[in-house]
Amino acid sequence: MASLPRRIIKETQRLLQEPVPGISAVPDENNARYFHVIVTGPEGSPFEGGLFKLELFLPEDYPMSAPKVRFITKIYHPNIDRLGRICLDILKDKWSPALQIRTVLLSIQALLSAPNPDDPLANDVAELWRVNEAEAIRNAKEWTRKYAMED
Amino acid sequence: MEQFEQLLTCAICLDRYRNPKLLPCQHSFCMEPCMDGLVDYVRRQVKCPECRAEHRIPYQGVQGYPTNVTLQRFLELHIEITGELPDPTAGQIMERCGVCSEKAYCGMCGHCDKKICQDCKGAHMDILRREIARINNQVRRALHRLQDMLAMVDKNLILLQQNCGSVAEEVDEIDRRLAKALKDRTEHLRQELDRYLSTEVRNLTQLKENLELEISNITSNCDLADKHMTESVEWDDNELMDAKEIFLKTVEFIRNFETETGDYQRRVRFTMAHDPNQLVNHVAGFGDLNINHPHTTAPGLTGSASMGLLQTPGPGLMRSKSDHRLATQFRQQEERDEDPRGGRLSPLAGRKFGERPAPKPAATDRYEGRYGRGGESGYGGDYGDYDAEGGSRAGQVRSKYRSRFRRDAQDAAEPEPDTGRNVRFQEQQNRERERVLDTEDVSKGPLSGITRLYDVPRVMKRLQESELKEKNKGKEPPTPPQPAPQQQQPKKTVTQRQVSEEDEIAKIKRQNKSGASSSDVAAAVPEAREPAAPVRPAPDRVASLKKAEEERRRGSSHEGSSDNDSDDGSSVSSMQGQRKGSLRARLGGASPPLTVPPPAKPRSGSTDSASTSSSESSSPASSTARNTGAAFSTEEVKQKYLSRGSATPSTPPAAAPAASRTQQDTTPPRFQSRFLGGNRPQPDKAKDEEEDDDTESSSEEETDSDEEEDKTKKKEEVNRMDIGPLLARSANARDSATATRRDSRDDTGTRQSSTASYRSPLSSRDDSGGYRSQRASRDESTDAPSSAGSRYGSAASTTSTPSSYTSRFLNKSKSSANVDEDESSRAKTAAVPDESTRYPSGRSRYAALKERRSRLARSRSSHNMGGADDMDDAEDLSATTSPSAYLASRGYGSSQSGSELARSRSTHALKSRDNSPERGGERDGTALSSWARTRARSVHALKSREASPERDTADRADRAERDALSQANISAYRSRARQAALKSRETSPERGAEKDANSPALSSWARYLKNKYGPRKEGKDGAASSASSAAGSAASSAASRRLSLGLPLSRHNSASIDSSDDDQKNPVGSPTSPTAATAAAAAGFAAGATSPRSQYLQKRRQLFQIGSRGSEPGAFTWPRGIAVGPDNTFVIADSSNHRVQVFDSNGIFVKEFGSYGNGEGEFDCLAGVAVNRIGQFIIADRYNHRIQVMDPSGRFLRAFGSQGTADGRFNYPWGITTDALGFIYVCDKENHRVQVFQSDGTFVGKFGSSGRGPGQLEHPHYIAVSSTNRVIVSDSNNHRIQIFDVNGRVITSFGSEGSEEGQFKFPRGVAVDDQGYIFVGDSGNNRIQIFHPDGAFLRAFGCWGAGPAEFKGLEGVAVLSDGKILVCDRENHRVQVF
């Protein structure tokens, strides 16, 4: 395997040395491009109190292309589908090499705080979110309790 | 400050800006690779990662964007402030990496010798490290080899001494044995000769006396007749008649009297079992000390202990694949040694250093802490060597840089090529230079030249530094294996060579070095070989270590090397020597024990006594069985007499049912069965009597024995004439049968002649009668005794049918079953000692039998006037010429049934004959009846069938076969014979014993015949017996080498005939007569002729090998063809040396001839060789497309052929052979055919064409012709062997592609022995396969490799007449002998 680009090393070091509050990203033992991420549900969101596991993979041409991120923990969110795929612009076309792992994770955290049902991935969830936000939020809380809380 | 740094950090690479370019949006990024990576080449625009603004790319590319000068200044400022190391890449231009073709700052890579980027370089370094680790592991793993070797050396030293001792002992022992054997044998022979001489003299004197007597008698008669047979004397008519008769007789007598006046000059001949020359040769070279020097072949550890020489690295190292790369790497590094300033200057990847040539001993620099390379600029000269190790791992990896290149360093003490090194040493380390050199001298392994890395100052320094770093900066994990090396990759992009610079560098380095070395840290040694003294100036330490090392190494390795050396050589050689010696011993020892006849065995004596005792009718005898038998025989006769005379069945006291043929020796059942027999046979008897009458009349006509003799003589002649072709007909099942048939024919001959000349018809009749009964009894006993049954396996089952018949028959004929039981039981009792001693007792039995015979002869004379009919039988036999077949079967049967049977038979005959004279007639009559009955069933049939007195052997064989079908008894024998033949073709080892058993059996059988036919014919019988024994054994080992045996056999026969003729001369028969000796010899011979099959089956071990690669005499370069020349010399086509080499049968070089060229006597990659019968060499001169013929001394005689496809032209002729008639067969390889020439080169014919069908050939390589004129061709690319007849018609083919047994991959060499066994050099499978003459697989051995019995690319194969197989092992450049 080709050696790790300096940027990734730097990022990793920085992530470990100066972790973002509410976010932990640890590289896999075997694959330095694969990170085990845990994001806490932002305060004031239906996901508060939940610990959401994600996986993050830095593709070969990172930072020129976006990292691949996916929720592992089930989450009730209009922009995250049942498989954990995330609909987030910076992970797609709005990716910029100036972005980093931490910024991506922060964006994801922000996404939890501010679901965007107008750009849905999970249509049913988005529909409910649009039609009956309260119930959706209830659901989200429910799911959070169910799946994102260990105990 | 943090933010300041952040401002100087590129958002993309998160590193300090390198050549920041300003986008129109005012964001700055490094030009390469960051900005490069942003380019959208399709739209030729750049999207700012920060603001996502899109900008058109200038015409020149991203370079066209303005450099952010402000930022650059800030960067410089920052460097100034922080004292950061300059960016080594500053001022560099990115290039395409030679490996990943990405743009990057490239540097030369020592690994791939290309300019490559850091990443790739890192990867390569990784590879190197991994390789080093791997090799290190290999070294580790292989290290035990050295240790083992050390142990082995010790052991070998002892072993060598032991071995030499034991070999010496062995040699002594062999010497003793040979001397003793020779002496014994000589004495024995001398004794024999003396004995023979005395008996012979006695005979001759006797004969002389007799003749004188006769002469005087006759003279007196004549005188009397002259004088008195006139009218002067009154004779009455009867008197005159008598006188006339007497005179007639005299005339007849004189006319016909013949004595063995033959060649007394050559009565005794001394034949040797082996060619005396050969024997002498064998003895002279009875063993070689085969001292092998492995160094010639395996350059493993050439143990020159002298320091200055290059040491070949150990095989273990040699084998490692990465070795070469390592070597190249090292060389490159050496070459680069002069310029690694670049590396030295930037040992870390610190591009932050501003200027390349400004190394600072920046011990405080943070980079140093982080990357562990801060202060190393001092020894950049060596940097190249060790940068691969990435600091932390240095310790374990260092093992072998020096080793392989020590020579470079030393040989090129000053000279040019070793620039880097020398320059370095001279210029940089003048002060230390000597010591460094010392170091290198001292710390090298004496065998391998491996430097001890710990002694290399640079290594120590490196280690120390890494230690230091660890201590000073605990900030970084000591060895983060992944990232650290990454960052430590030196940037060696600068490759200027400037001496001035170097000087400076050297200075710095020296300073550095001393400084560093003074700060001592214990080297963290992964391989704690030598605990380094922690506090000691490095040079000192180095020196001391070196010294110690040196001493130690020198000592040990000196020892080691020499030990190793001598040990390797001598151990192997001694082993070989031993093996060879023992082999020789075995070979040598094989014959003496066989030929030396075993001591006489008491058993036979007892039998004798028994037989004699039985002759005294029911006198107490040694064995009960015997006794009963004897008693019975008289009884029987009595009974018979009674039954015959009165025709009234006298009821025996205990009448038992017919099934009472129990194994008990009790009398009642015996009587009973006899009686049953006695009762029944009336009608048969009548027949018998009729026949008897017939024969009687005929016998009366032929009373004249002389006439008879003549006839039989003729017959004999005919028979003899038959022998030749019969012998020649080899190795088929019928062989054994014919052989025995021949024997029995001999028997017939002798029998007839003896009958005629010496025996009264009565007695012969008597004998045949006795014989008959015995034969029946033999049948019985074959059935009964478990020994016989088990021995003959299925034979017994076949006999079971006839045996029932026989038993019935026996019953009828009154040679009652019980007698048989007796016989069998006797046989059984006899069998116990007999079986075990059968083989060795051959001679003793022979002697004993002889004795008995003589006794018999005596006793016989007393009752020669037996039944008058006996002669008939003999005449019948002779008249109808059937007896040959009949006797064949009989003889064969006798040969099959064990010796005890034969003996019992003869004793039985004795018994019957031993009856009182008055009874003789009666007995004979009854015996005759049985005989006649047999004849009625068998011989009668024979007679009718064989009315035409042809004596053609084929007819006889047919007849015999027909007989076999019709005649139960005979068929039994036949089938037995056939089975035996089959068995013998298989020739399982047990068969050998059986075979051995047969010959005594036969001889005893012959003895029996002799008994019957009088002392005079003894010899002939004996001859027959010995012949038959020899032939029998030969037959039973149908696979035994026919031709080689054939001649000796016949010779042997004649010899034995001679001797036995002599033997017969002494009627008394000395116990150990020459005949006995010959018989024993015959037995020995028979035993000695072990079948080749078993011999081949054992083939596996290499006897010895000849040659190694080279062009000197005795060495080969791709040997190809091989042939066996006269005296078993090996003729080898040394293809790429363009010569023929000749070796003697011990593999000792004899001569060579030929050289490269296309003139006369010159060769171009010759392939095949052949030697014809007159010793001319016929050589397939491959690239000259011709055949050359050389005379036996190697001088050119003629050449024929040229390139082409026409007749008589060749395309790469390959294999070549010649047949018995001198025709030359050439494998015309590229023409896919075989061409045949006369020995003068005249084209005779060709066969084969390209293709896969039968008769087609695809690159035929080698060819062989069997003694039966079968042409065997290795049809190489069809992966098969094809066998043609001499006219090119396909007889058979076998083999297909594969590696199973009997399959081939590109078979090449073929050879065939005189038995027709086929040897194939299965080149693609690297093995030799042996096949039966019919193509059935027999054995395979060998595999790929260079060891004994391993092959690499087989070529020609040849086989010696003694069964040794010669194999050209092409890629190993040697010839192996198996």
Most B CBs within 10 Å, among A6, A65, A94, A103, to test the B interface: A6
Ranges of H-type helices in B935-988: 940-945, 953-966, 968-986
Residues of B with CB below 8 A from A6's CB?
Answer: 13-15
Contact B420, B382 (CB under 8 A): no
Burial B154-163 (b: 16+ CB within 10 A, else e): eebbebbeeb
Residue B1293, pLDDT score: 87
What's the first-to-final CA gap in chain A, in angstroms? 39
Among 3.30.420.40, 3.40.50.80, 3.10.110.10, 3.50.50.60, what is the CATH number of A6-148?
3.10.110.10
Please tell me the distance from the alpha carbon of residue B1066 to that of residue B206, in angstroms, as a whole number. 9
Contact A98 B486 (CB under 8 A): no
The parts of chain B modelled with pLDDT lower than 50 are 295-323, 334-442, 474-502, 505, 513-848, 850-851, 854, 856-1090
Ranges of H-type helices in B1116-1231: none
The pTM of the full predicted model, rounded to 2 decimals, is: 0.30
Please tell me the distance from the alpha carbon of residue B616 to that of residue B619, in angstroms, as a whole number. 6
Position A55 confidence tier, pLDDT thresholds 50, 70, 90: very high
More confident residue, B114 or A52: A52
Residue B1102, pLDDT score: 78
Nearest by CB to A7, from B13, B122, B486: name it.
B13
Nearest CA in chain A to B99: A2
Contact B1263, B1216 (CB under 8 A): yes
Contact A3 B37 (CB under 8 A): no
Q: Which amino acid is at B1053?
A: N
Contact B14 A99 (CB under 8 A): no
pLDDT digits (tens, 9 = 90+) for B26-43: 888 888 778 887 888 888
Residues of A with CB below 8 A from B484's CB?
Answer: none
Most A CBs within 10 Å, among B2, B3, B14, B119, to test the A interface: B14
Sheet holding B1149-1153, edge to edge: B1119-1124, B1130-1134, B1139-1143, B1149-1153
Q: CA separation (Å) from B815 to B643, B683, B761, B934, B1237?
A: 13, 17, 22, 13, 67
Nearest CA in chain B to A2: B123
Residue B596, pLDDT score: 38
Please tell me the distance from the alpha carbon of residue B950 to that of residue B860, in angstroms, as a whole number. 34
Nearest by CB to B12, from A2, A4, A63: name it.
A63
Residue B330, pLDDT score: 53
Contact B15 A10 (CB under 8 A): yes
Please tell me the distance from the alpha carbon of residue B66 to that of residue B408, in angstroms, as a whole number. 53
Q: How many CA atoms lie within 13 A of B581 on its CB side?
A: 22
List A15, A58, A80, A87, catalytic entry? A87
Contact B516, B461 (CB under 8 A): yes
Contact A6 B14 (CB under 8 A): yes
Contact A94 B52 (CB under 8 A): yes
Residue B133, pLDDT score: 87
Return the SS3 of B1237: strand
**B1222, B1193, B1329, B1219: which is closest to B1274 by C-alpha?**
B1329
Peptide bond into A63 cis (omega under 30): yes
What's the first-to-final CA gap in chain B, in angstroms? 87
Most B CBs within 10 Å, among A96, A99, A104, to test the B interface: A96
Residues of A with CB below 8 A from B50's CB?
Answer: 96, 98
Listed by start position, the domains of chain A span 6-148
**ipTM score for this prediction:** 0.81
Residue B1355, pLDDT score: 87
Burial B943-962 (b: 16+ CB within 10 A, else e): beebeeeeeebeebbebbbb
pLDDT digits (tens, 9 = 90+) for B896-911: 333 333 343 433 434 4
Chains A and B: how many Cβ contacts under 8 Å? 50
Residue B87, pLDDT score: 58
Contact B1363, B1313 (CB under 8 A): yes
Position A36 confidence tier, pLDDT thresholds 50, 70, 90: very high
What residues have CB less than 8 Å from B684, skipping those under 6 apart? B812, B929, B932, B933, B936
Contact B1141, B1134 (CB under 8 A): yes
Please tell me the distance from the alpha carbon of residue B1255 to that of residue B1278, in angstroms, as a whole number. 11
**B1029, B1023, B1022, B1007: which is closest to B907 by C-alpha?**
B1007
Nearest by CB to A3, from B47, B48, B486: name it.
B486
What residues have CB less than 8 Å from B610, skipping those under 6 apart? B621, B622, B623, B626, B630, B907
Nearest by CB to A10, from B14, B37, B38: name it.
B14
Contacts of B1321-1324 spanning 24+ positions with Cβ under 8 A? B1321/B1262, B1321/B1274, B1321/B1354, B1321/B1355, B1321/B1356, B1321/B1357, B1321/B1367, B1321/B1368, B1322/B1354, B1323/B1276, B1323/B1353, B1323/B1354, B1323/B1355, B1324/B1299
Residue B1022, pLDDT score: 38
Torsion angle, CA of B917/B919/B924/B925, rounded to 10 degrees? 140
Residue B1026, pLDDT score: 40
Residues of B with CB below 8 A from A9's CB?
Answer: 483, 486
Burial B776-814 (b: 16+ CB within 10 A, else e): bbbbbbbbbbebbbebbeebbebbeebbebbbbbbbbbb
Residue B1313, pLDDT score: 86
Crossing angle of helices B667-679 and B624-646, in 10° steps, is 30
Nearest by CB to A6, from B13, B52, B123: name it.
B13
Nearest CA in chain A to B100: A2
More confident residue, A84 or B722: A84
Q: How many CA atoms lie within 13 A of B1093 on its CB side?
A: 22
What residues have CB less than 8 Å from B649, skipping those under 6 apart? B643, B675, B678, B679
Contact B1257, B1279 (CB under 8 A): no
Return the SS3 of B586: helix
Nearest CA in chain A to B485: A3
**B1143, B1118, B1114, B1120: which is closest to B1131 by C-alpha?**
B1143
Q: Is A87 a catalytic residue?
A: yes
Could you tell me if residue B44 is left (phi over 0), alpha (psi between -120 and 50 degrees) or otherwise beta? Answer: left
**B9, B679, B714, B79: which is closest to B360 by C-alpha?**
B79
Contact B680, B809 (CB under 8 A): no
**A54, A48, A72: which is closest to A137 by C-alpha?**
A48
